Homo-oligomer: A and B are copies of this chain.
Amino acid sequence: MAENSNDGLMRTLSAATRFESQVLDCDVIGKIPADINGAFYRVGAEWFYPPKFADDAILNADGYVSSFRIRNGRVDYTGRWVRTQRFDRNREAGRQLFGYYRNPFTDDPAISDPQHPNTRTVSNTAPLVHHGKLYTLKEDGLPYLIDPLTLETQGTWDAFGTWKSETFSAHPKLDPLTGEMVSYGYEANGLASDDLYIATLNSQGRVSDSVTVKVPYVSVIHDMALTHRHVVIPFGGYVTGMERLREGKIHWGWDKTKPSVIGVIPRGGSARDMRWFEGPERCMMHTFNAVTEGDKVILYAPFFDSNFFPFFPNVDGAPFNPAGARAFIRKITLDLGKRGNNWQEEILWPMQVGDLGKVDPRVLSLPTRYLYTQFYDETKPIDRAIVGSAGPARPSNCYGRFDLETGQLDTYFAGPTHVLQECSFVPRPSGQEGDGYLVGVATNYAEDRAELVIADAQRLGEGDVARVILPFKISQQVHGVWADARELGLG
C-alpha cells in the first residue's frame, strides 16, 4: 500500500473543516423557540493530516467536536479539534504517524508504545453528557473530557480511577429514572482481547458495579441497549485477531459465516447470568431502545442485513456488496423464560432507513412509542444538478417519527438540495414522550454551507421552525446529543 504524501491538494480535500472556529450570533431564518436553552453537541471525524494509507477507514480520522449554544432565540457556534494524545503527536511531527484503523503494527516507528490503544484513539464518535460533564467518546479508548463552553480538551477520563477497561463504548446508556450510566468496553484488556467489561456508573460518574465476561468471538460491539432490568449487547459479522493485525491489515474483516449475537445480562448480574442468543447474518451497529416485558426482552434497532463498511473487507475475498448494506427498523424478541436459543425478528416498516436511531431520552430503557431516524424518501428526489456527486448515493433528505402504536410515519423534509445528518431529540421541559424538537445539521449544497434545522417533533410535516445558518460547511457528524443548560451549568 503506497503511503500518502502530505501535499496541500490532498489536505484541502477536507478544507471545509480543517479549521477551528466560532460564529457569534449566527444568522437565523425563522424563529428559535424561546423554551430552548442548552447546547447541541456534535462529534465527527476529519483528517487533520491525510491518512497514512489511502484505503484507511474514515473511522480513523481525527475527532472534531462542535456545539450550537442556543439561548433566548440566539445561537453561537463553536468547533474544535479534539486534542487527543495522537492529535498532539501528529501536530508535533507535522504529519500522520498512525497507520490503519486500530492496527498499531502499521504505525510509524516514531510511535514507541504500539500496545497501548489509548495513544491511538481519535475520540471521533459521540459526545456524552453525564454528572455535569461533557466527554467525547470512541470505542477503542477512554473518553476525553471537554470544556462545555470553549470545547477545549482537558485530558482522558477513567471514571475517577474506577473504570477497569482500556476501552469505553461510544454508546453508553443513561437511565432517566436513576441518573445512572451503563457502559461497557470490549477488547477490554488489550488488542483483540475477548474480554467484555460491563459497568454501571452512579450519577457522580463512578463505577458502582461491574462485570467482565468472555465474548463468543471478538467483534465490533458498537452499541448496546438498556431496559429497566437488562443490559443488551448486540454484535456480529466483524472479526479480528492478532494474526491479521500483525499482517498489517485493517482491524476488522467481515465473515458472513459468523452468526449475529445478542448478549443479555441482568443489570448488576454476574458473568454466569449472561445469556448469548444467535441470529442470522447481520451488521448490528445502532439501537433505538429496548424494553423488558415479563420474561421477554424486546430490542428495537435499525440493523443492516450485512456488512455496511466497504473499508472492512470480506475475509473470503469476495467484493463488497452494497445490496447488503441496507438497514431496516427491526424488532427482535428474546424470551428469557425459554431455554436455549430463541430469536424472533420482525421488520416493522418495509422501507430502508438510516441506522442513526434516536428516542426521547425520557423513555430510554422504558416502554417507547416513537422512534426517530433519518432516511431517503425517493419521492422527494435530491437535485443532482446542484448536489452533483458531492452528496451520498442515498442522501438522507428526511427525518422520520415512527409510531410503534399506530404504525404511522411522520416526515420532516429538508429540501432537494439539503442532506441531513443524524437528528437529536430536544425534550420540551415537563412534557411527555415526544413533546419536543428534532435538531440536526443539514448540508445545504445550493449555498455550500451547513444549517442547523429545528423542527417540532410533533409537527414534522410542517417543516422546520428555524434554521441556524453557518457561513461554511462543517464536518460530517457521527453522533450528537442535546444538553439542557442546567445539565452543564451553561447558564
Contacts and interface: CB of A to CB of B under 8 A. Distances in A.
Interface residues of A, number: 28
Contact of A27 (B11, B29, B94, B470): B11
Nearest to A6: B27
Interface in A228-285: none
Interface stretch (A18-26, A304-312, A422-430): A18-26
A271 to B, nearest CB: 46
Contacts of A23: 18-20
A349 interface: no
A155 interface: no
Interface in A461-487: 469-472
A131 interface: no
A394 interface: no
Interface in A162-204: none
A471 to B, nearest CB: 3
A19 to B, nearest CB: 4
Interface in A83-105: 91, 94
Contact of A18 (B48, B94, B471): B471
Interface string A439-477: 000000000010000000000000000000111100000
Given A8-B469, A29-B8, A24 B15 contact: no
Interface string A39-83: 000000000100000000000000000000000001001000100
A150 interface: no
A10 to B, nearest CB: 9
A129 interface: no
Nearest to A14: B471
A342 interface: no
A12 interface: yes
Contacts of A19: 21-24, 77, 470-472
A477 to B, nearest CB: 18
B25 A20 contact: no
A17 B471 CA distance: 8
A94 B25 contact: yes
Nearest to A81: B24
A15 B471 contact: yes
A73 to B, nearest CB: 9
Interface string A294-310: 00000000000000000
Contacts of A24: 19-20, 48, 81, 91
5 contacts: A8-B28, A12-B469, A19-B24, A21-B22, A25-B91
3 closest Cβ contacts across the A-B interface? A15-B471, A8-B27, A21-B21
Interface of A: 8, 11-12, 15-25, 27-29, 48, 74, 77, 81, 91, 94, 449, 469-472
